[in-house]
Amino acid sequence: MSQEQEFLSRLASAHSQALEGLQSIAVQLEAGASGDDESINASKLTQEFNVWKERYVGKKAPVASLKKELGLLDPASRRHAGAELNRVRDELLDRAQELGERLVSARLGTLQSSSRIDMTELALDSFRGHIHLITQTRDELEDVFIGMGYSIQEGPEVETDWYNFEALNIPPDHPARGMFDTFYLKESVRGTQDGDRPSSSSSNKLLLRTHTSPVQIHTMSEYKPPIYMVAPGKVYRRDTPDARHIPIFNQIEGLVVDKNITFADLAGTIESFTTKYFGQDIHSRLRPAFFPFTEPSAEFEITCAICSGSGCRTCSGTGWIELGGCGMVDPNVFEHVGIDPEVWSGFAFGFGIDRCAQMRHSLVDMRVLLANDVRFLEQF
């Protein structure tokens, strides 16, 4: 069996097990409702339903762990398998939502028909939390890239100077370090962490990563090309919070390494991501910029979603909002991780997840994302 077939058959069996579980709850609910089986009550079924949810649509569900395994498939199969995975997950979520609603009305029905109604106890559910807007945005972005054949990678938030800067072609004292206001840790790592690279005391210094680009280095050190990956995660900069900046924010990094990759592939990828995530009315444009780890480099901007491009205060009247940076992987970076730049080429991009949420939901001030005010959060 090919790897893809094996993946799909595991997905199919997780799918049918999940449906079976759901079906059994639905059948019991029917039996209880028609009076065939008096012992069935809606709150017991709700408990069973919650166990089902935890098992099949929760963080540890087979579908969630299969998502992590997508990266092991080759890029062509990954696109198909990723789309199939999204389809199964959406179907399970839809069905769960539907059954959940039926259970709530069944519980309401039982309450109303019982003679001992305690009028002070009207609330059916206590206040329920839900996934934070940033995490929702991150999940949606991951799904878009999985649909395009990318795998998901992660890297540590505490990094060494080498991963965050040096391997990315930013040696000590390079003026580009000024782009990042870095939080350093007092500790540093002793010895080398990477077999064949020279160790200097400065490259072992620990810091909070200022961008997700070090995950490019981890990924290229660990996997051989072709590579198609995105890496979402938290990053840290010593910025004073204002309407457009927060010192802890989230980025999603993208990296493609393959043969004959060109700037046109990069531009096309960014445009297709933009329309998939923001919709047909939002476009992207690239403007020349500088990053030490890409050459040539560009900044990418999207149509301002708040004014649909006509110009407003948020976009300073330009109609465009900067989302992130991108470019062709610099040959020096390839050399640091032992990839031959004569054979392979690639592009990278990195952009703000918080900024995507801001554009998608027209948030005037980004600080609401950190304030944990329930009145804001419950709207999403």
Q: Which residues of the chain form contacts with ligand PHE (CB under 6 A)?
A: 211, 213, 291, 294, 297, 324-327, 348-350
**Burial classification of residue 232, based on how many CB atoms lie within 10 Å of its CB (0-12 exposed, 13-18 middle, 19 or more buried):** buried
User: How many helices (DSSP H) and strands (DSSP E) are in the chain?
Assistant: 12, 10
CB of 327 to ligand PHE, least distance (A): 5
63 vs 328, beta carbon nearer ligand PHE: 328
β-pairing, 248-258 vs 158-160, is: unpaired
CB of 100 to ligand PHE, least distance (A): 40
49 vs 293, beta carbon nearer ligand PHE: 293
151 vs 213, beta carbon nearer ligand PHE: 213
Letter for the amino acid at 326? C
Tell me the C-alpha to C-alpha distance, in Å, between residue 234 and each of 61, 209, 343.
24, 8, 33
CB of 86 to ligand PHE, least distance (A): 25
CB of 227 to ligand PHE, least distance (A): 14
Positive or negative CA dihedral for 9, 15, 18, 24? negative
CB of 326 to ligand PHE, least distance (A): 5
155 vs 325, beta carbon nearer ligand PHE: 325
Helix (H, G, I), strand (E, B) or coil at 29: helix
CA distance 223 to 219: 6
| Token pair of 340 as six digits | 């031959």
Q: Which DSSP string do the residues of 215-270 spell out, in sequence order?
A: HHHHHHHHSPSPEEEEEEEEEE--PPPBTTB-SEEEEEEEEEEETT--HHHHHHHH
225 vs 350, beta carbon nearer ligand PHE: 350
155 vs 324, beta carbon nearer ligand PHE: 324
CB of 263 to ligand PHE, least distance (A): 13
